Amino acid sequence: MNIQALGDITPFHPLIIKSHFDFKWNELESISNYLINTTEQEMVLETGGGLSSALNPKPPHMLPEFEEFYKWFLPMARHIIIKEWGYTPTINYNVVQSWVNVHENGGTTLEHNHGGAILVASAYLNLPKDSGFIEFRDPMEYQKGFHRRDNMGWEWNECKAKTGDVLCFPGWLKHRTQPSNSDEQRWVLTTNVGF
């Protein structure tokens, strides 16, 4: 069918924004493992071979090994919050929490959101082939659910990525990961920005 070019002119803010940072994974692998190994409490969201340092009192953003990343990340996060999403510039947005997750083969993170975080950043420290992407739940599923769809699970939408990609999205947006089908570990650094 010869369809005239359709222009997407949806005027609302972009919800998920991708950028890229070249992590030196060989220099971060040791500290990332240390954070996982010294976390005493397990996260209920991590299943099937997934572990998180979310409850570790040492968050990555306070560690010198991750300083270079946060020096790059924070101005960008503030730019997105203020310029792209229209928040007031009179507040000093800052990192409020951070952690690393690791997924073995079969590992997955269950559906969740980040509550009051203004911006969440998922940074792929190491994303092997077939280790699973993040999926976002359509926040307009109730409005769109009015009409019948061909495909079950249409409300879940995958965002493809590669090692070094950094996905920024609002804390209220529900998401989960696909299970890893790789024997190589998938490492993600997650950061909550708030005020």
Partner 1 sequence: MNNQKKLIDVTPFEPLVIKVHYDNWDLESIIPICEKLIEEAPLKTHLELNDAASSVSNKLAPPHLIPEFKPFYRWILPMIEHIMYNEWELNRKIDIGISNSWVNVHGMGGITAEHEHGATAVVAAAYITLPPNSGFIKFKDPLEYVKGIRPENDADMRFYKTVKAQQGDVLLFPGWLRHKTEPSKTDEKRWVLTTNFVAALNKDKLKL
Q: Taking CB under 8 A as the criterion, which residues in 102-141 touch partner 1?
A: 116, 118, 136, 138-140
Question: Residues binding partner 1: what is the number (CB under 8 A)?
Answer: 51
Q: Provide CB contacts within 8 A for 125, sequence distance 6+.
A: 23, 25, 28, 32, 100, 163, 187, 188, 189
The smaller minimum CB distance to partner 1, of residues 62 and 79, is found at: 79
Per-residue string for binding with partner 1, 17-46, x by CB under 8 A? xxxx--------------------------
Q: Which residue, 42 or 145, is less far from partner 1 as judged by CB?
A: 145
CA pair distance 172, 136, nearest whole angstrom: 11
Q: What is the CA radius of gyration of the chain?
A: 18
Q: Is 153 in the site for partner 1 (CB under 8 A)?
A: no
DSSP 64: G
Q: Which stretch binds partner 1 (CB under 8 A): 24-32, 41-49, 82-90, 178-186?
A: 82-90
Give the whole-angstrom CA distance, residue 138 versus residue 102: 25
Pairing, β 119-126 against β 186-194: antiparallel
Using CB under 8 A, list all residues that contact partner 1. Answer: 1, 3-20, 76, 79-80, 83-88, 90-91, 116, 118, 136, 138-140, 143-144, 146-151, 154, 157-159, 167, 170, 172
